[in-house]
Structure 1
């Protein structure tokens, strides 16, 4: 019976978030606890759906370590986390025949700017040179040279907003089985594109980026490639190999891998201008929203917690209050002190607190307010699409004037409506909803609002990329540098076990 070791490590960071992540930010599951992903739309869930169909396969679940997006992991936190992950792998690595590693690709730690590369290199040392390793990554990941040197194959997300978590894991599982059975001998071509992108054109269902992703899917489906994708990286993870890159992996066909990777890169490059955030000034958005009859969304992508921002921006709240916007406003904010005060006072109490600037006071000035505590909760919820757990800590719904604000103690992903719903707030009941994510699935907001305004506001994940202050990534790179030349060059990687 063949044995497949499974591990999972995922976090996306913003280098511009001043609050470091710690070991305690990670939700860690060991051993059989990973089977809880069966039936879920996660990479592990997708992989299990494949492996469970093969009675001759024994899965060795080791560890899953996941944290919400935030700042870099502290040196101490990374030392403890990485040691725990590798200890779990060592404990399960006896006589295994393959490894599936589920990762994000946009981690970063103090003293280790390529955490995934480090882990994969250490896993390779543990399992030896003859055990195939297949990796799955978010398309916002940063695939490094060190990562590519350790693996035999990879699969990438093909959707944004992301909905194909399970499909990506299933594709990785099938690829790993093909490599283990000697049915394929993968070779990959990688073309690095010196561009960082953001904005609506990245929505794969409607944008020009999606048109290119469908080409990647086509060459996978017609058999030209084992795997293909365009990784746009996380532009807020300021690390040496941050870039856009095209990856095409074939069954030993170097020429096709190189030709297709170069073709896709050449098609991507002239569209980099379109793939930038189109922002509207906050005062103009407020003025327009006042004249509209239907509900509107104010997208605060600069404070997108799922991209690594702090979640404590009050920029939109303060501007709406200052402008005297009359409609009913629903918003979210991370402010542990305000949430604690509300819990101490109790439901129905009137409290005086400040909102905002709890984590990033250099960007956001705390806003004084007197509010009624409408409800309290423990901040537990589940993502709408993945059904995985959220833990926002002590959470309160505060109401003042025409504002209803869900105040959380900890940052969690806000790319759906989960925290609104679990706090008893339905966005359709409001005139203006603040969404701290660059995009959500269409049905969640865009299907029923009159307008979704992409607000120009300060934050650790602002789409105004030149304003952030990158200092580590390779230069020149667009749009940080306006005049960048590009001629596609493919680097070829054979499967690690075939070298």
Structure 2
């Protein structure tokens, strides 16, 4: 029988503390493809949709692929945007026998704290109670009862940096095929605890997250569970269901699945305060001292991650304090990627390649956090349309083409600076090389990211350190209004 399967993706991670709402234009800026635009962009890539196309060929499915939409993490999605994305996506579900889709799991929309749960509920109502609906998720998803109730299975990625979307989608495809063949009837249950965060922020190198993922995979191999997904949650979403979760998918009877999920979350609660010691966070002054000390004869770069202004967590991506300090320290053979500032890009275009001029750079979104605009005399080294092909292992990679809009590289003293028109964290070497920065021959590379950069940059680095130079993602108290209370670590709790 030739089954018709709905596929596609809607990805967004909401930092509800951002003052910039996410609109359809933000999805168009990062990636919004409709219908027949999708196959040429995703087929043959090691991405979630790349795997879906390969699975369709293997199992003889006809794919309905109405929408692939992704926006850089940012503020709450407007209601109009959410409803339009839903309309496009669900229009492709008519007449389908099942669904294999890629979501994030930490989107928040106006009127919907749980938009992915709402989307899955609408899809379930359309396809019927027994149709296989499998969704892949980011491991920083804030998973809800509504999501678990309306999906046959929720399959979270198991790596951070996320490099296994392709494999997880294949896992989902095999599950969908087994349902269609009548071999299994998957049911998914969820367990949570009163935790705002925990599981070491989702780090999968070692610690409780690694332990639970390994135990879950062993259960899958043994056949005691179809899927075990561990999610660390995303604490920058001020919603009731924020926080870590475990979902377990079983065949038919979910009694054992419930026991496993609760046991796993007991362990997550017991280890909630665990923090990796592998991440070294230092002051900006110490980071620059290390950079200066290693300039002479460096054959690998010191990588400095500016975690306070990570666009991958919804920060604005335009703070200037770290760059200002690098310029003051007169670093040589250094790179900084990247400042989000479309106005500065346009100013650089007017100045022209090879010329020098004054530019007011960055600090425009929230100058009170991480530094206001930086006035510099810079040489314009390159100007591009911002389009490049990722070649790294992380989720932007897999051979997919990306664009950060008109971009340029300018030079101030011994520092080469990337300036982009669309905010994005730095996770792929091609982001630097596409504008003329050679990351393999820098003594120092400063970048705006938190952890995803490690997949591509750690192998080339002599050392990796983190600094919190201010920004929306900077450590410090946040005022929550919608999370459930009491909750750890904001409240004292005895379970």
Shared fold per TM-score greater than 0.5:
yes
CA-CA distance at 1:103 after TM superposition:
0.7
* Matching residue of 2:39: 35
Distance 1:172 1:459 in 2: 37
Moved more, 279-288 or 211-220: 279-288
**Is 2:176 aligned against 1:176?**
yes
* Matching residue of 2:404: 392
* Matching residue of 1:446: 458
* Matching residue of 1:44: 49
* Matching residue of 1:113: 113
Q: Aligned runs of 1:407-486 on 2, under 5 Å? A: 407-440=419-452, 442=454, 444-462=456-474, 464=475, 466-481=476-491, 483-486=492-495
* Matching residue of 1:495: none
Q: Aligned runs of 1:74-473 on 2, under 5 Å? A: 74-86=78-90, 88-89=91-92, 92-94=93-95, 96-197=96-197, 202-275=202-275, 279-292=281-294, 294=298, 295-322=301-328, 324-331=329-336, 332-363=338-369, 364-383=371-390, 384=392, 385-440=397-452, 442=454, 444-462=456-474, 464=475, 466-473=476-483
| Structure 2: gaps of 5 or more residues | none
Q: Give secondary structure in 2 for the equivalent of 1:446.
A: helix
Distance 1:210 1:222 in 2: 18
Distance 2:389 2:483 in 1: 35
Moved more, 267-276 or 390-399: 267-276
Q: Give secondary structure in 1 for the equivalent of 2:378.
A: strand
8 Å contact 1:236–1:460 — kept in the other structure? no
CA-CA distance at 1:403 after TM superposition:
1.7
Distance 1:340 1:200, change over 3 A: farther
Distance 2:200 2:265 in 1: 20
Distance 1:386 1:93 in 2: 30
8 Å contact 2:345–2:407 — kept in the other structure? yes
TM-score of the aligned structures, taking structure 2 as reference length: 0.90
Distance 1:387 1:238, change over 3 A: farther
Distance 1:484 1:82 in 2: 39
Distance 1:418 1:108, change over 3 A: farther
Distance 1:278 1:453, change over 3 A: closer
8 Å contact 2:356–2:380 — kept in the other structure? yes
Distance 2:86 2:483 in 1: 24
Distance 2:281 2:477 in 1: 13
CA-CA distance at 1:278 after TM superposition:
6.1
Q: Give secondary structure in 1 for the equivalent of 2:84.
A: helix
Q: Give secondary structure in 2 for the equivalent of 1:176.
A: helix
8 Å contact 1:38–1:48 — kept in the other structure? yes
Distance 1:51 1:359 in 2: 44
Distance 2:187 2:87 in 1: 31
> Deviation string for 1:350-392 (max 9, x for gaps)?
1211222122333231111111101100111233333223221
Distance 1:200 1:181, change over 3 A: same
> Deviation string for 1:306-353 (max 9, x for gaps)?
22221112121122234x253332111101111000011210121211
TM-score of the aligned structures, taking structure 1 as reference length: 0.89
Distance 2:136 2:480 in 1: 27
Q: Give secondary structure in 2 for the equivalent of 1:16.
A: coil
Moved more, 427-436 or 280-289: 280-289
* Matching residue of 2:22: 21
| Structure 1: gaps of 5 or more residues | 487-499
Q: Give secondary structure in 1 for the equivalent of 2:335.
A: strand
8 Å contact 1:416–1:440 — kept in the other structure? no
Moved more, 467-476 or 60-69: 467-476
* Matching residue of 1:9: 10
